[in-house]
Structure 1
């Protein structure tokens, strides 16, 4: 991955981009192939996008890999999605380590197969000291579930006397989220033309710019990413105020 020099990165480049990778099934259907084929091609799109984000100077990239709602899908498709995580880590982990990419996996670990949990732990451990770029994979993740789990941990700490109710501020609540320590996304992209968040980063996306593109995820590439960033640049970010200033 070609990492730009600090002087080569425009000041208005979004620091953090989050992507809902949607459209694998429809892409495969258009080609009269099984949905699993679309997911497989989606992994190739992910590989391209991680590289393109690094080249464009995007420091943090979050992708929606497997949602808590995906458990409702046929078990064959669920197993195929898990197989793709195994494949992606097996093929790309060494490269990510060498290129300075740190992997974070957000979402619940509860109910995951033992080898999937080990793969996640290995990816995070091997890249822990990297800082050139951050790849955040939302796996077994749902925004409402994340908020509920954070609220549960806060309640437990209050009950144990570790935290006073009056100390629960926005910043304190954020420290209990899966994304604690990571910046909020500046730009959230959803592919495939759907116009909804689908329970993704509900807290973190409070002031993200939303860009919905008609491209199906397996066709997403650097040009599509640049076009979305171009749309972001044409926005005036107000953060609830009258001037386009950072909060």
Structure 2
């Protein structure tokens, strides 16, 4: 039983921290506390990522519509997630530092395929899925040099900004957040904030840390719009604009 507890504890902490906590009862060790907190947060984020975009997927399926969802933004988001996943995987960083990207990639590609499908581009949705599978094989099979992976990871910053801000612009034009799921948007924001800390602790990779800082900023813009446009139907701004034009013509 003791060995089982020790193995479980060593999954969350180093042997040095295990000795500090369980043998020396030194519970005030700051580096060990930060490492344990980071590992716990990382695993929590991974657990949450299994379902983080499911509300968004269900919302699209139930409405049979991708209205209000910027497909370019979704695809750029998918690229950023996939590049991040491959960069971390090929570097051999702990799974707790990037494992959520695996589930986010799967859910994001599902959203992209559904949006294309319900927008009447059924053949393109199938081709897109096949192309994505091929891309992931090339990135994670060792065919792509590490120098190239570093370059595409650095590209994540502008990709994230363009992807998220294009969605923000779509929201602004529509005067609502359309089929965006509030639960998904909020969880993505919380996850990106937590990932800043876990990336500092578990990788120390400046490029990854900077990427999550940018991701947090971009996600905060969407969260702000979600609050501002709360309960406003899709296309509300467009409808208001048409109503004003009709009134103006009648007055004339």
TM-score, normalised with respect to structure 1: 0.30
Greater C-alpha Rg: 2
TM-score, normalised with respect to structure 2: 0.29
Greater fraction of residues in helix: 2
